[in-house]
Chain A
Amino acid sequence: MVDLLAHVLVAYTTGAVLAWRGRLAPAWVPVLMVGAVLPDLAKAGQVVSPAEVAALVGVRFQWLVLHRLGGVLLVAGLGALLFESGRRRTAWLVLVAGAVEHLLLDVGVVRAGGVAPPYLYPLSWWQPPSAGLYLSSDLWPLALATALAAGAWALTTGRVPGVDGRPEGTRRTGDDRRGDGRRGE
């Protein structure tokens, strides 16, 4: 996988642009970023081994399931329960979207075996061919993700000349409030 910062920055870029286009409320952008972190909870296996967890729960255990679609859906469900009742469905969808973006980026990692892990488990054991674009420790994907995030930040905070950085719905509100007669244009 790419380093976690690159995943988080790509999620920020996606969320910020969607919010700017009025497709996602800005408050959900950081939830998308948190969703991008979820698959890497599988790294807990480097601290607590699967054997230790298995001894605790009494059945076999594999942390890697957190880095698969099924694990992501369940962990996002647990995360969504931490939100207010009217927002849990949206929270779940946004967390899942961030995590799926993470898995899609991981298909690009160079793998000696030539195939990526079965990310669609438990729906399928299919292993997509690895795109072989970057090593997990390469710096250039992080540089690219940082540049994209900086561009999205500039675009959505009004720092690009001639571009209104406010989300689409808010832009109309501003015109309405000024009463400058442009409503309906």
Chain B
Amino acid sequence: MRRDGAKRLALAVVLVLALVGLAAHYDATRLANTESLTTVEAVVGPDPPGVGDRAYLWLTVESVADSRLTVSSPAGVPPLVVDASGIETGTVARVAPGDVVQVFGVVTGDARIEATRLVVHDRGNQRRMYVISAIGGLLAAGAFLRRWRVDWRRLTFTSRGDGPVDRDPGASDGGGDGG
């Protein structure tokens, strides 16, 4: 049992290191391999893109003035402004502070993007989605713990034994009906 524990620990360390390495590689190489800039930092960070570069961003709107959306940016970087004058006015009129918007467009200068496509996610719908998603997580956890229990001695999940994962479905359940 101790040997299995050491093997699991070693495998876990290898997997975590691989995950960190993969996350680092993804972050370092995705700009060169994807069609658009996909983070605010990539647009307004210390290494700004050139004018005309395409960007596809999910942004939270801070304020709306005319057809200009100012969106929240991470601390330490200048606010990003989205020029939505090329977007249908009805779509822009639906945008309110706090909404999440998907913006596809081109970089037109320092911390500015001209949107060519805009998808609006109403703030109320976003909040509802987070609540519903939390329920989804709880449902999965509850269903799992109904079928599996923690074996604290071995630090593993063990089937509660009320399904065929623990026995041949065709075998007797030992209730005295085998004779």
Contacts and interface: CB of A to CB of B under 8 A. Distances in A.
| Count class of interface residues, chain A | 35 or more
Nearest to B146: A30
Interface of A is mostly: helix
Interface string A6-43: 11110110000000000001111111011011001000
B128 A26 contact: no
Interface string B137-152: 1011101101110010
B165 A26 contact: yes
A65 B155 CA distance: 28
Contact of B22 (A65, A117, A135, A176): A65
A74 interface: yes
Contact of A62 (B27, B122, B148, B164): B27
Nearest to B144: A30
B104 A50 contact: no
Given A3-B133, A5-B132, A27-B165, A60 B117 contact: no
A135 B119 contact: yes
Interface of B: 4, 8, 11-12, 15-16, 18-28, 30, 33-36, 38, 56, 74, 102-104, 117-119, 121-122, 125-126, 128-129, 132-137, 139-141, 143-144, 146-148, 151, 154-160, 163-166, 169-170, 177
Interface of A: 3-9, 11-12, 25-31, 33-34, 36-37, 40, 49-51, 53, 57, 59-66, 68, 70-71, 74-75, 77-78, 81-85, 87, 110-115, 117-118, 121-122, 125, 127, 135-138, 142, 167, 169-170, 172-173, 176-177
